[in-house]
Structure 1
Amino acid sequence: MTKEKDYNLLSGLTLAYVGDAIYETYIRDYLVRSGHTRPNQLHRMATNYVSAKGQHYLIEKMMETDMLSEEELKVYKRGRNAKSHTSAKNTSVFVYRSSTGFEALMGYLHLTGQKMRMEELITWCIKEIGEKTNE
């Protein structure tokens, strides 16, 4: 028998580890279902959504528009403030940490079974990046 887990006890980096995979899977699924099938094209398009810069942009927009609950904001900050032993590639430490917070939020929503809320945010992210890339 498995014990019920308290995902509030997980580190921000652990939540981000799961969130990174979950979010990227949703993005890949969206791109393929949208009719994109060429691997190079898929990779390039996915980068708009899953890069540190893209995730930083999205979480900043979410906070600007007060989209996140207090609980979600706390999880984001826990991920953002986590001390990672890996360094940012092609971006600032600030942007990298912000994207880690974004991924922690996705991981938290997934692990706590808040699938509808997670999908609501991911759908918003897809729309937001689509509008940004079409500007």
Structure 2
Amino acid sequence: MSTQTSLALWAPRLLSVLRIVAALIFMAHGTQKLLGFPPGSGGGPAAMSLPWIAGVIEIVTGVLLTIGLFTRPAAFIASGTMAAAYWMAHAPRDFFPVNNGGDAAILYCFVFLYLVAAGPGPWSVDAKRR
């Protein structure tokens, strides 16, 4: 078997790995905001504020994406949340993402947008439901 063939066989599985890892790290942003875990700086946001709503979205979509349930709609919501976070919180600080702290928001936005198109991969609840 050629290297290309071997890599092609692993592509769907690595899509699942990308989804799971990105979702777990994304969910950690929400748990830090709302649950104080992992411990970070400062207290949690006020209930119903934009950061609080973002935290709820990060936890809910993070859980759904981790298990691969309703992957496409969850990824669409997560992607949009990160686009809004970038333009509202990061872009006004500085033009360059590396200077405004928005590089993670941009990466999450486009990884989740990719998942909208690509789907969850084979290691997912969605795949088992089909």
Per the TM superposition, whether the score is higher than 0.5 is: no
RCO higher in structure (CA 8 A, sep ≥6): 1
Report the TM-score, using the length of structure 2 for normalisation: 0.32
TM norm structure 1:
0.31
Name the larger-Rg structure. Answer: 2
